[in-house]
Amino acid sequence: MSVDFPDSTNAAVIGVGAMGRHHARVYSELPDVNLVGVYDVDEAQAREVAEDHGSRAMSMEELVGAADVASIAVPTQFHADLAEECIDHGVSVLVEKPFVDDPAVGRELIEKADEAGVTIQVGHVERFNPAIRTLADIVADLDVIAIDAERLGPPPEGRQVDESAVLDLMIHDIDVVLATMGEEPAEITAHGVKNNQYATADLEFGDGTVASLTASRVTQQRVRTLSITAEECRVNVDYIDRSVEIHRHSLPEYIEDNGDVRYRHESIVERPTVQTGEPLKNELEAFVTAATGEGDPVVSGEDGLRVLEVARKIDRIAGGDEQNTTESEQEAAEGKQEADEDQQEAPEDEQEAGVSAR
């Protein structure tokens, strides 16, 4: 089915807690978008947020009947059911990360959305950070060797987080890395402590590029950085102040000054212009544009699934529930070798069995 929208798109928000209330605020500020309603199991909170932004609290039944697009900003375990209800009523959805609990359920949602002719976008908001948009333009011309990312901070105040640091924090950097590389990693190693409240992961890609990621919610300093090492330069991104620096080497030279000869080797630092703009506003504008048929979602359901599968694998390895892929692959190879040897011995065994039977 195709969805026809009026000049103004009716948007709604499902879940108006710490993140969802910002979705409501941004929708209320977007031109040609009408914040038609909000829903939350906490009805008092829903009414408060609705009143703050000139909207009204609704039941889910009312919301899916009134909205053209909806943001789903509730705990991950409820994403799938709410997204399915929206899709069944022809409502396009932006689902906050992680996309779903179970990748198989995510694939079913994508199929349902395709059949219904509605859009799924996954809420990896860092993709819309102006610094990352600038980085994407720079990286297109680079021969990338390595990527390093840190996303660290203290335990969140006033917000209960059920996911590990991998699924809550590192998942942002996994998304940026996969988008930068355009492929999934060939090998993954990971380590975690304190139930993966602090975790590190090393990813290796088919062309030899490596990525090192660290996420923590037990670090008493807030850090959000990403660096790319390339043949030509090193690019540093600070998510917090939305800055980008490109470090290039200069040729060494000897300088004569009042008869003294000095050696100098300075780095050249470029600071490209980074556009202003709130990442969430950029994200919701892009979502509405895609949902109204004017383009594809920047972060599709398929993108969200790929990121989720890598994040889940890192989380399992870091937590000790799964071996590092390099070790697993070695054991798989050993198992295959043993199977091949058994297969080669099978004819002799069968011959002996046949003699006994006779």
DSSP string, 187-216: EEEEEEETTTTEEEEEEE-TTS-EEEEEEE
Q: Say yes or no: domain 9-118 is CATH 3.40.50.720.
A: yes
Number of neighbours of residue 91 by Cβ within 10 angstroms: 26
pTM, 2 dp: 0.84
Query: How far apart, in whole angstroms, are the C-alpha atoms of residue 106 and residue 286?
Result: 21
Hey, which residues does 211 pair with through a beta bridge? Answer: 147, 203
Show me where the domains of the chain are located. Answer: 9-118, 128-278
- What phi and psi values does residue 16 have, to the nearest 5 degrees? -120, 50
Strand order across the beta sheet in which 267-270 lies: 187-193, 198-204, 210-216, 144-152, 223-230, 234-238, 243-249, 267-270
Contacts of 354 (CB under 8 A, 6+ apart): none
AA identity, residue 207: D
285 dihedral zone (left: phi>0; alpha: psi -120 to 50; beta): alpha
Sign (positive or negative) of CA dihedral 309, 213, 18, 164? positive
- pLDDT for res 346: 44
DSSP secondary structure of 120-144: EEEE-GGGG-HHHHHHHHHHTT--E
What superfamily in CATH does domain 128-278 come from? Answer: Dihydrodipicolinate Reductase; domain 2 (3.30.360.10)
Contacts of 303 (CB under 8 A, 6+ apart): 122, 124, 175, 178, 179
- pLDDT for res 294: 86
Determine the angle formed by the axes of helices 279-291 and 20-29, rounding to 10 degrees.
70
pLDDT 10s per residue in the chain (358 long)?
Answer: 334 445 799 999 999 999 999 999 999 999 999 999 999 999 999 999 999 999 999 999 999 999 999 999 999 999 999 999 999 999 999 999 999 999 999 999 999 999 999 999 999 999 999 999 999 999 998 999 999 999 999 988 766 667 899 999 999 999 999 999 999 999 999 999 999 999 999 999 999 999 999 999 999 999 999 999 999 899 999 999 999 999 987 666 666 667 676 666 667 899 999 998 999 999 999 999 999 998 899 999 999 999 999 999 999 999 988 877 554 454 554 555 555 555 544 444 433 333 333 2
Contacts of 163 (CB under 8 A, 6+ apart): 76, 98
Distances in Å between the alpha carbon of 28 and those of 16, 170, 181? Answer: 14, 30, 35
Pairing of strands 144-152, 210-216: parallel
Six-digit token string for 343 = 């297969």
